Amino acid sequence: MADLRNNFVGIKSPNPFWLASAPPTDKAYNVERAFKAGWGGVVWKTLGEAGPPVVNVNGPRYGAIWAGDRRLMGFNNIELITDRDLQKNLQEIKAVKMAWPDCAVVVSIMVPCDEDSWKAILPLVEETGADGIELNFGCPHGMSERGMGAAVGQVPEYVEMVVRWCKQYSRMPVITKLTPNVTDVRKPARAAKNGGTDAVSLINTINSIVSVDLDSFSPNPSIDGKGSHGGYCGPAAKPIALHMVAEIARDAETNGLPISGIGGITTWRDAAEFMALGAGNVQVCTAAMVYGFKIVDEMISGLSNWMDEKGYRTIDDFVGRASRNVTDWQYLNLEYITKARIDQDLCIKCGRCHIVCEDTSHQAIMKEKNGVRHFEVMDNECVGCNLCVNVCPVEDCIEMVALPPGTIDERTGRVVTGKYANWTTHPNNPMRKSVEPAE
Amino acid sequence: MGEGALKDGIAAGRLGADQYAANFTDLHPPLDRHEAFVEADRCYFCYDAPCQNACPTSIDIPLFIREIVTDNPLGAAETIFEQNILGGMCARVCPTEQLCEEACVREAAEGKPVKIGLLQRYATDIAMAAEAQFFTRAAPTGKRVAVVGAGPAGLACAHRLALHGHDVVIYDARPKAGGLNEYGIASYKAPGGFAQAEVDYVTAIGGITIETGKILGEHFSLSELAGRFDAVFLGLGLGGVNVLRADGEDAQGVDSAIDFIADLRQAADLATLPIGRKVVVIGGGMTAIDAAVQSKLLGAEEVTMVYRRGKEQMNASGFEQDLAAAKGVTIRHWLAPRRIVVRGGEVAGIELSYMALDPAGALKPTGETTIIACDQVFKAIGQTLSTDGEGVQLAGGKIEVDAEGRTSMPKVWAGGDCATGGDDLTVTAVAEGRDAAESINRTLMGL
Ligand SMILES: Cc1cc2nc3c(=O)[nH]c(=O)nc-3n(C[C@H](O)[C@H](O)[C@H](O)COP(=O)(O)OP(=O)(O)OC[C@H]3O[C@@H](n4cnc5c(N)ncnc54)[C@H](O)[C@@H]3O)c2cc1C
Ligand SMILES: Cc1cc2nc3c(=O)[nH]c(=O)nc-3n(C[C@H](O)[C@H](O)[C@H](O)COP(=O)(O)O)c2cc1C
Ligand code: SF4
Ligand code: SF4
Ligand code: SF4
């Protein structure tokens, strides 16, 4: 049996599945239900400074996009940080941590970007006995208009400064939560590291307008006919998050910095992918908001079975195993030559591979053979792009097969060498160097 | 003597009013909006879609289903009506399991085709309820065309001719237009007066006059019509019924299945329709199934279909056979009628010969016989052309036509059940009527 116990910057939890700071972690009621359901930890919904709490809109605050059969693919919100009283939250955090000592309780914080504000709140949080803090530098709407959230997260100097204060005025582990609304996520990550952060977590939500009401011409969610950009998350955001996690994991300056992976995680497989790219644990928001807390059962069972199957005893056995395989385009092997292969027994003859290759790719799939409907790849045209694989409705019906060394690529007439060769040394590259290995 | 269902002989009012109503509602209830979205989502938007190729009217099925998914049902209806102006009836009566849905790639993938018929009904119902008309007539050409027969073939032909700017007069022998849509299709496939509503929808394009109670061969001849009009289209269907050639055929209680169904379709009150307690239907096609099922639904206690060959040779589709079985009809194979057992001038039973194929493959009686006791016998052994062709050349009992629907007579086209080529189905009749109209248009306009 795989051991799912997680130790993230000294914070222990029975499994690597935490709930991200968001409505599922807004109060003791939800958090206790989550722990009962089996979640390993929570990051409490972001606390603000003492005084009257923020107010949320009273109209709709969420929006979504759907795939077929109304399966939710992307989720968007214009919600702010907690709109509950600070003292009430602190009391509940303390009580919950006391009742659930084995589960991780991390507190998310966002206060104005000045030293006094941070100095004021940190001891209050520390007093709850919480396991650590997460700095919310990500909220892309509302709070950012007030100079907080993403407004801080987008300026590396501010990130470094605030992290420094937190390390100075608190003994708790600090996790810095990054915004994806930047051109290069490595900059704020490096800044957080320079400030002394224990870890980064990412991603927070992405700036978005989820849809437009074509009757009222208001963006959705519509508040009395007007809308504002919101934060986008859920399955559709996962690829963006994976990339950002990988960039930080393989950056020379931040390599080795613990990462809590967030963004679109819905199944055990998503979680395993984040961890393979370097995340030491994962956080989930949308999937819980769409299906309820029970989904953690599937995540635990799926991850555990996969680890057993692969022979990984602990999570550390596979964390980061994929990050070493993330490289720059220029280092990809141009001598790796693939062709699409259609399994005729699985093919249901929908013709989609043919039409997409014909209309938009390389005219490499025939639609007829001996006068009958038949779909087959013509190696002399196929560039191995994978489009047909992506559109085929039958799983594993089309496979990309690498040509073995010594065979001839019928498209180019060249013999497959089986040797590694990339763009940096390619004759067509005006800036080519002599042979250089991959990173 | 029993009452209601158990009453011997041929009797009306076997069931209560609720039971009649329940038995004769929609066989396949329509999809609601949610169901339509879920189902439409299953379509893969195939290239050169097999379903479309299997549709005799070549409706662009992937496109209309995509229009449903994107909540554009009127666009979907337009896509359907462009190819098949009787898309509403076809959505209800097409044997989809032998046409588009049999070809659907999801049939190959998982044995569950996309429910194309029901989706087609969803879109066309919305358009017809909204009285949305998608086609406007071309400028008047001054040409006049006579269409004989207001069935699916005649209506589809008339609509397409009107679209091209020609004026059309449809003559039909019956008191109502619609052909077998009105008089033949099983009542649970198109309830609620749909056939007449569709006639109105089709003729709303304008330029089409329908004259009912006008019989070719009685009120006018074909050559007369050809003289008065620029072209003539014959969509006569198959009005005659084959004779059984069995003793006792004229006994009280031996009826034509077609007439029985027509009476049923026209009945204002089903409780007034007499039906036997024990009914035997002779035949293996769609008409036999419909007569048998509807006998059962009218309250007959025992209904047996007898067919002279095996299950595989039956014209009725697997779906239709299963439907009959599910409704309690017994289907017996390899039995051919020998004589009607008559008692006091009324049917008392039917004697049947067991049949088999001889080594040469010919159907022969084995010598053994059996008797099924019954008080009513319906003949559903095929229909024939009711005219002698009025001078047009026949082939195999039908009007001979070429690929465009042209007959041997100049200025005369034909299509639908009365003409050679294609299956005897509503959708085929529509395709042939439409294509003949295109051919007529090309000829009249010198295109
Ligand atoms: C009982 C039964 C059930 C069926 N069920 C189905 C089904 O579920 N699905 C399916 O696809 N198909 C079904 N069919 C077949 C389908 O109804 C026919 O293929 C289709 O109606 C043929 O259309 P048509 O226009 O050629 O002829 P018809 O529909 O027969 O119309 C011919 C018209 O011509 C008129 N006419 C005939 N002679 C003259 C004349 N001399 N002068 C003037 N008018 C004349 C008739 O009154 C009639 O209105 C069924 C047929 C029967 C008999
Ligand atoms: C309704 C909603 C409210 C959120 N509120 C917060 C918040 O208060 N603090 C925070 O750090 N992140 C907040 N987030 C961001 C999530 O914690 C998480 O980073 C993001 O949703 C991506 O993960 P997911 O794809 O699993 O939802 C919120 C997200 C949602 C959907
Ligand atoms: S891999 Fe690309 S080029 Fe090759 S057959 Fe598929 S779509 Fe065409
Ligand atoms: S997309 Fe897949 S199932 Fe469809 S024709 Fe191509 S190989 Fe066959
Ligand atoms: S064959 Fe089936 S899946 Fe393909 S377009 Fe037709 S209905 Fe859709």
Note the pLDDT tens digit of each residue in B330-379: 999 999 999 999 999 899 999 999 999 999 999 999 999 999 999 999 99
Report the alpha-carbon distance of residue B23 to residue A103 in Å, rounded: 62
**Three-state secondary structure call for residue A393:** coil
Q: Nearest-CA residue of chain A relative to B111?
A: A348
Q: B324 CB less than 6 Å from ligand 1?
A: no
Residues A227 and A284 in one domain: yes
The answer, yes or no, to whether residue A91 has pLDDT greater than 70, is: yes
Report the Cα A23 to chain-centroid distance in Å. Answer: 18
Of A325, A343, A360, which marks where a domain is finished? Answer: A325
Contacts of B106 in chain A (CB under 8 A): 348
The closest alpha carbon to B184, from B175, B192, B195, belongs to: B195
First CA to last CA distance, chain A: 35
Average pLDDT value over all residues in chain A: 96
CB contact under 8 A, B46 and A352: yes
Burial of A101 (0-12, 13-18, 19+ CB in 10 A): exposed
Judgement on whether residues A263 and A348 belong to the same structural domain of the protein: no
E strand segments, A328-427: 338-342, 365-369, 372-377, 398-402, 408-409, 414-415
Any domain includes A1: no
* Residues pairing with A135 in the sheet: A109, A176
Decide if A352 and B47 are in contact by the 8 Å CB cutoff.
yes
Query: Chain A window 382-411: which residues touch B at a Cβ cutoff of 8 Å?
Result: 393-394
Check whether residue A22 and residue A105 sit in a common domain: yes
pLDDT at residue B174, as a whole number: 96
- H or E stretch covering A247: helix A238-250
Q: For position A141, what pLDDT does the model report?
A: 82
The CB density around residue B220, as the number of other CB atoms within 10 Å, is 16
Atom of ligand 3 at shortest distance to CA of A363?
8
User: Which residue in B has a C-alpha nearest to residue A393's C-alpha?
Assistant: B44
Cis preceding-peptide flag for A203 (omega within 30 of 0)? yes
Do A149 and A272 belong together in one domain?
A: yes
Q: Flag whether A433 is in a domain.
A: no
Query: Which structural domain, as residue segments, surrounds residue A378?
Result: 330-425
CB contact under 8 A, B108 and A349: yes
> With 80 as the cut, is the pLDDT of residue B446 above it?
yes
Pick from A282, A310, A325: which residue ends a domain?
A325
**Do residues A352 and A375 make contact, with C-beta atoms less than 8 angstroms apart?**
no
| Per-residue tokens: B217 | 């061969």
The closest residue, in CA terms, to atom 4 on ligand 5 is B46
3-class secondary structure for A113-156? CCHHHHHHHHHHHHCCCCCEEEEECCCCCCHHHHCCCHHHHCCH
Residues A344, A307 share a domain: no
**Cβ(A34)–Cβ(A292) below 8 Å:** no
pLDDT tens per residue, range B44-53: 999 999 999 9
Q: A238-250 and A186-195 helices cross at what angle (nearest 10)? A: 50
Smallest CA–CA distance from B37 into chain A, residue: A69
| B302-306, strands of its sheet edge to edge | B254-256, B376-379, B278-282, B302-306, B330-332
- With an 8 Å Cβ cutoff, is A373 touching chain B? yes
Can you tell me the mean pLDDT for A211-238?
96
Q: Does the beta-carbon distance from B47 to A394 stay under 8 Å?
A: no
Pairing of strands A206-208, A230-233: antiparallel
Residue A126 lies in a domain: yes
Single-letter amino acid code for the residue at B235:
G
Answer for the pair A366, A357: CB distance below 8 angstroms, yes or no: no
pLDDT of residue A310: 97
Pick the closest to residue A133 from A105, A157, A112, A152 (CA basis): A105
Is the Cβ atom of A398 under 6 angstroms away from ligand 3?
no
State the ligand closest to the CA atom of A377: 3
Same domain? A313 vs A335: no
Three-state secondary structure call for residue A10: coil
Specify if A175 maps to a domain.
yes
Size of interface A-B (CB pairs under 8 A): 35
Number of structural domains chain A divides into: 2
Could you give the residue range(s) of every CATH 1.10.1060.10 domain in chain B?
A: 33-129
Q: Where in chain B is the domain with CATH 3.50.50.60?
A: 3-25+241-379, 144-239+385-445
Smallest CA–CA distance, residue B366 to chain A, in Å, is 43
B47 touching A, CB under 8 A? yes
Sign of CA dihedral B436, B438, B439, B440: positive
Q: Are residues A55 and A111 in the same domain?
A: yes
Classify domain B144-239+385-445 by CATH number: 3.50.50.60
Task: Report chain A residues whose CB lies below 8 A from the CB of B47.
Answer: 350-352, 354-355, 367
Burial A390-427 (b: 16+ CB within 10 A, else e): ebbbbeebbeeeebeeeeebebeeeebeeeeebbbeee
Is the pLDDT reported for residue B3 higher than 90?
no
Question: Which one of 3.40.640.10, 3.30.830.10, 1.20.140.10, 3.50.50.60 gives the CATH number of domain B3-25+241-379?
Answer: 3.50.50.60
Q: What is the DSSP letter of B169?
A: E
Residue A331 has pLDDT above 70, yes or no: yes
A183 and A240, same domain (yes or no): yes
CB spacing of A352 vs B48 below 8 angstroms: no
Residue A69 contacts B, CB cutoff 8 Å:
yes
Q: How far is the CA of A112 from the centre of ligand 2 (A)?
A: 19
Burial (CB count within 10 angstroms: exposed 0-12, middle 13-18, buried 19+), residue B270: buried
Q: How confident is the model at residue A69 (pLDDT cuts 50, 70, 90)?
A: confident
Across residues A360-374, what is the average pLDDT?
97
Q: Residue B44 is nearest to which of A69, A352, A354, comparing CB atoms? A: A352
Is the pLDDT at A50 greater than 70, yes or no?
yes
CATH number at residue A47: 3.20.20.70
Contacts of B48 in chain A (CB under 8 A): 351, 355, 367, 373
B107 CA from centroid of ligand 4 (Å): 14
Query: Cβ(B63) to ligand 5 under 6 A?
Result: no
Q: How sure is the predictor about A434, in pLDDT bands with cuts at 50, 70 and 90?
A: low
Ligand 4 near A349 CB (within 6 A): yes
Percent of chain B residues topping a pLDDT of 90:
91
Q: What is the CATH number of the domain that holds A334?
A: 3.30.70.20
Residue A320, pLDDT > 60, answer yes
Domain ends where: A325, A346, A365? A325
Minimal CA separation from A206 to chain B, in Å: 27
Q: Taking residues A122-133, what's their average pLDDT?
A: 98
Q: Are strands B302-306 and B330-332 parallel, antiparallel or unpaired?
A: parallel
Chain A environment of B37 (Cβ under 8 Å): 69-70
Answer yes or no: is pLDDT of A437 > 60.
no
B110 vs B4, more confident: B110
Q: What is the pLDDT of residues A277-290, one digit of tens each?
A: 999 999 999 999 99
Ligand 4: atom nearest CA of A349 is 5
Query: Does the C-beta of B429 come closer than 6 Å to ligand 1?
Result: yes
Closest Cα to atom 2 of ligand 3: A385
Query: CA A140, CA A137: separation in Å to the nearest integer?
Result: 9
Dist. CA A326–CA A255, nearest whole Å: 13
Considering the domain B33-129, what is its CATH architecture? Orthogonal Bundle (1.10)
Q: Please tell me the distance from the alpha carbon of residue A19 to that of residue A45, in angstroms, as a whole number.
A: 10
Residue A297 shares a structural domain with residue A250 = yes
pLDDT of B211: 98
**What is the mean predicted confidence (pLDDT) over B96-103?**
96
| Residue A351 contacts B where some CB pair is shorter than 8 Å | yes
Predicted confidence at residue B60, as pLDDT, reads 98
**Which chain B residue is nearest to residue A69, measuring alpha carbons?**
B38
Q: Is the pLDDT of residue B1 over 80?
A: no
**Nearest CA-CA distance, residue A355 and chain B, Å:** 6
Model pTM score = 0.91
Asked if residue A184 has pLDDT above 80, the reply is yes
ipTM value, please give it.
Answer: 0.86
B49 contacts chain A (CB < 8 A): yes
| Neighboring chain B residues of A373 at a CB cutoff of 8 Å | 48, 50
Angle, in degrees to the nearest 10, between helices B257-266 and B286-297:
50
DSSP per-residue string spanning A264-296: S--SHHHHHHHHHTT-SEEEESHHHHHH-TTHH
Contact indicator for A145, A114 with CB cutoff of 8 Å: no
**Residue A434 is assigned to a structural domain of this protein:** no
- Residue with the nearest Cα to atom 6 of ligand 5? B51
A350 and B46: CB-CB below 8 Å? yes
Q: Give the residue from B50, B222, B30, B46 showing the smallest Cα distance to A351.
A: B46
Measure Cα distances from A233 to A24, A107, A207 in Å: 15, 21, 10
Distance CA A425, CA B388 (A): 85
pLDDT band at A234 (very low <50, low <70, confident <90, very high): very high
CA A322, A327, A333, A337 torsion-angle sign: positive
To which residue do tokens 């501010």 refer? Answer: A158
Q: Is B418 exposed, middle or buried (0-12, 13-18, 19+ CB in 10 A)?
A: buried
Kindly report, residue by residue over B263-294, the tens digit of the pLDDT.
Answer: 999 999 999 999 999 999 999 999 999 999 99
Our answer to whether residue A139 is catalytic in this structure is yes
Q: Tell whether A194 is covered by a domain.
A: yes
pLDDT digits (tens, 9 = 90+) for B389-421: 788 999 999 999 999 999 999 999 999 999 999
**Residues near B39 by beta carbon (within 8 Å), at least 6 away in sequence:** B31, B114, B115, B118, B119
Tell me if A351 and B46 make a contact (CB, 8 A cut-off): yes
Ligand nearest to the CA of A385: 3
Residue A435: what pLDDT? 56
pLDDT band at A146 (very low <50, low <70, confident <90, very high): confident
Report yes or no: A354 and A366 within 8 Å, Cβ to Cβ. Answer: yes
